[in-house]
Amino acid sequence: MARRPSIRDEDILEAAREVFLAKGIRATTAEVADRARVSEGILFHRFKTKEGLFRAALNPQLAEPPEVRELVERVGKGTVADNLQDACVAQLAVMKVRMPLIMLSFSNPGPSGLPEHFERGEHPEPMLAKTLAAYVRGEVNLGRLRDVDGDVFAYTLVGGMIHYVMQGILRPDTMPLPSSALYIRGLVDLLLHGASPTPPPRR
């Protein structure tokens, strides 16, 4: 393999970003090294672990999207369904990057046996659930939703999102799934309206 006389960290991270986004959890450091035209030893010297390499490469894609950060500010504005759908579709794109990294991180546990970023309090999904729960409680207080438990609603929604992403990572060919937007629309509709038939109008 022909090697460059020197290579910037950003060149390595760009190669890692391309490989990871193309292959997800199946991406290997050998593929990154080949694309960056360096040895695997250089990768591990600079980034220590495979998970550390991909986390550094994908850090911009891990930021919470504005649709989630500003969700609570949307209480009472627009429609509840649109607000939830916009936030969850945006977050699903982040989760498609984040979940494979979480899976990789379990191969690099900290002293407790959990991934080191979990020990630092960086596990993001509980924070997403808290944001969703706060939004739901705000809409309940305005009477735009019936008196549902905000935490149950939020964790049900987040759980459905995680399952969708995991299915796409682990067994993408075993169950045909709709696009992210269609899946979220159906999931939000199910949570907001249930599966019972619409009662007949009163005479």
Q: What rounded mean pLDDT belongs to the chain? A: 84
User: Which residues neighbour 144 within 8 Å (Cβ) at sequence distance 6 or greater?
Assistant: 76, 80
Q: Is 28 left (phi over 0), alpha (psi -120 to 50) or beta?
A: beta
* Res. 93: pLDDT tops 80: yes
How many other CB atoms are found less than 10 A from the CB of residue 132? 25
Query: Hunting for tokens 């890692």 — which residue is that?
Result: 16
Alpha-carbon gap, residue 153 to 134, rounded angstroms: 11
pLDDT of residue 1: 47
55 and 78, same structural domain? no
Beta bridge partners of 109: 115
Host domain of residue 187: 63-193
185 and 135, same structural domain? yes
Residue 149 lies in a domain: yes
149 and 74, same structural domain? yes
Q: What is the pLDDT of residues 36-68, one digit of tens each?
A: 899 988 888 888 888 788 778 777 667 789 999
Q: Which is higher by pLDDT, 98 or 120?
A: 98
Alpha-carbon gap, residue 48 to 66, rounded angstroms: 32
Beta bridge partners of 115: 109
The domain total for the chain is 2
Residue 30 lies in a domain: yes
Residue 23 belongs to domain with CATH number:
1.10.10.60
User: Phi/psi of residue 109, each to 5°?
Assistant: -75, 155
67 and 53, same structural domain? no
92 and 50, same structural domain? no
